Structure formats: C-alpha cells, structure tokens
Amino acid sequence: MSKKNIRAIDALQEAQKIAFAPFVFQTTVSLKKLGVFDFIFNNNTNGGVTLSEIASQLTLSEYSLSVLLEIAESADIVSLDNEGKYELTKIGYFLSYNPMTEVNLNFTHDVCYQGLFHLQEAIKEEKPAGLKELGHWKTIYEGLSQLDPHIQKSWFEFDHFYSDGIFEDALKIVFKHKPKLLFDIGGNTGKFAIQCCDYNKNVNVHIFDLPGQLKKALANTAEKGFGERVSGTEIDWLSKNPQIPMGADTIWMSQFLDCFSKEEILKILKVAANAMDNDTELIIIETYTDRQKFANAKFTLEATSLYFTALANGNSKMYKATELLALAQEAGLNIKEDISLGEFHTLFVCKKK
C-alpha cells in the first residue's frame, strides 16, 4: 500500500483493524472451531445461508452468532447479501482451508497468544518474558517435550510444516556427497534422521539435541527400526563450552541457527568448523527474510521473529541470508553451494576455508 496516497478515512479504518486485531483473530478462531466456516462454505454453492439457519443447524443462539458474523463481515471474512445470506469470502476460505494459514493460526492461538502480552518486557530485557504463560524454563526448547499436548501439537505442526516439504529435495543434495556419518544438530523429533536412513542404507546418523528432545528423537527412530543406525548425544549450545567430535562427513543444521543470537550462531559455527576436515560438508537450511518471493512469507517470518523474542529465547530471529553468510565467513567457512529449496527455504553447503 502506498504511504502517500491512502485517504485519511481509509488509514483510520486500517488503524482500527490493528487496534482491534485480537478481536478479529479470536472471532476467526471461534467461527472455525464452532464449525461455522465449514457450514457456510458447504452452503456457498446454494447461494449462502442466513443467520437463523446457521444458528439452528449449529445449536448456537442468534445473538452469539450475530456478534461473530458482524465483525467477520467487516473484516471481509464472510460476505452478506441483500437477502441476509452469508457466504465465505476468499479470505475466509484461506482462513478455513489453507494449510499454511491453519498452522500459523493454531501456532498463534495455542503457543503465542498469551505470551505476546509480555512483548514489551521481552524487548526491554531480551528475555522471553512471555514464556511463563507456558511453563517455567529458560528457553522454550528446554520445555518442548513437556508442553501441554495441544500446545505441543501446534508447535510441532508449525515447525514441521516449514521443514517436512523440503527434506525430500534436500536429501538428494545431502547424498551427492555420499555421507556415511551425518550429524543432525537440533534433530528434534528424529524426522530427518528417519528419512536419511530410509533414503540410504549405508548412512548412520548421530543426533545432538537437548535432553528432552534427544530422548524423544531416539525413541522415534528406534520405533521405526533404525535403533542401530541412529545414536545421539545431549548438548546445550548455550552452555559454557559445547563441543562436537570430528568424524562426520556431513553436519546438518535445519531451522536450527534461527534459535540463537548472532553471537551464539558465530560460536556454534566455529565449533562446527573445528569439528570439520577439508571434506566435511556443513549444510545449513533456513528461511531468510531477504529470500522470500511473496510478501505473505516475509510477513510470516517477521511474526516468527516476535515469537522468538517473546516466547522462545528473547534474543533470536529469522535472519537475512546476508547476515548468515557474513557469520559463516567469520567462522572460517566458505559457501560452496547456495540453493533455493521449495517455497521458503535456502540451503547453503559450507566447507572449511
């Protein structure tokens, strides 16, 4: 939207959308969970449905539905015709059925909503002041395995949505180098380790993660029959002197470095570089704000940065590729390949200088 040309009345309307954004958000969540969006959409082809039809079908009062649908109409989520019939708009359709919007909405509602209330404090102190709404840990990563099940589900669905799709393409790049031993740094639930073992029968994977996640990852990989080929070591990269051994053909860091501040990333990359010889490949996959094709993806990443600030650790964010490239250079690494993966991701293959 042009900064100069917007009319004052339109700017005022936009400002109210922001002032009341939580109202529209909670309305959307309610309409979705109460089944109103599904019901309206299923009747779109019949020319829409009236308030009283929706109310009686979903056993809600007309009063309750009216407060939700009135603001939903002003927010262009539903439309209302002259006969009093509601239909789902394109925005309403995406809010109901677009998978990316669904994981973003659930993540916002279940993981972030209450914690974001403490954003100002988090900004001032560079501490995840909102995390206390979920549990009492220093960072969210310590508590991931202990989150309430519905919160954990939304966290993992958000995390996996932005990585699952690219693992298949990434495997082809990883295995060009024919690794026999791969270190998965921040192996999380073991998903990538399982895919590596499925993809190539000669590879062994060693996962490094915090204790709770490592336990989960090793249980998952053993359950898939890869107990012999997947091992692990507990590590806390925020501890005084974290180390990983030499010996890996490939070191894999997927959506891992964004969990840390620039100073911490530099430290991690130096530790990794120390554990590499001239043949070792370090593969870094991230979603960078300066590499997005679409404004909605950039916006999602900027919102994710605020989750890091308010809830995750207080000092990390989604970075620009230029920032990561500078840190890799400083840590003694050269970028051998720079590949765009899927809709959002970039993969760097790094070698020791």
Rounded CA-CA distance 204/33 in Å is 43
At 204 the three-state DSSP class reads strand
Residue closer to ligand SAM by CB (options 92, 190) is 190
Q: 222-235: string of b/e by CB count within 10 Å (b at 16+)?
A: eeeebeebbebeeb
- DSSP label at 87? E
Q: Report, in Å, the least distance between residue 246 CB and ligand SAM.
A: 19
Count of residues of this chain found to bind ligand SAM when the rule CB under 6 A is applied:
17
186 interacts with ligand SAM by CB under 6 A? yes
188 interacts with ligand SAM by CB under 6 A? yes
Smallest Cα–Cα separation from 40: which of 28, 50, 27?
50
220 interacts with ligand SAM by CB under 6 A? no
Q: Interacting stretch for ligand SAM, rule CB under 6 A, among 8-16, 43-51, 81-89, 205-213?
A: 205-213
104 interacts with ligand SAM by CB under 6 A? no
Residue closer to ligand SAM by CB (options 144, 151) is 144
346 interacts with ligand SAM by CB under 6 A? no
Sign of the CA dihedral running 344, 308, 97, 28: negative
Cβ atoms within 10 Å, residue 202: 11
Sign of the CA dihedral running 64, 70, 73, 77: negative
Q: Interacting stretch for ligand SAM, rule CB under 6 A, among 81-89, 255-263, 289-297, 328-336?
A: 255-263
141 interacts with ligand SAM by CB under 6 A? yes
Rounded CA-CA distance 131/61 in Å is 36
Amino acid at 270: K
324 interacts with ligand SAM by CB under 6 A? no
Answer for which of 238, 282, 324, 347 binds ligand SAM (CB under 6 A) is 238
What residues make contact with ligand SAM under the rule CB under 6 A? 141, 144, 159, 163, 186, 188, 209-210, 213, 235-238, 254-256, 259
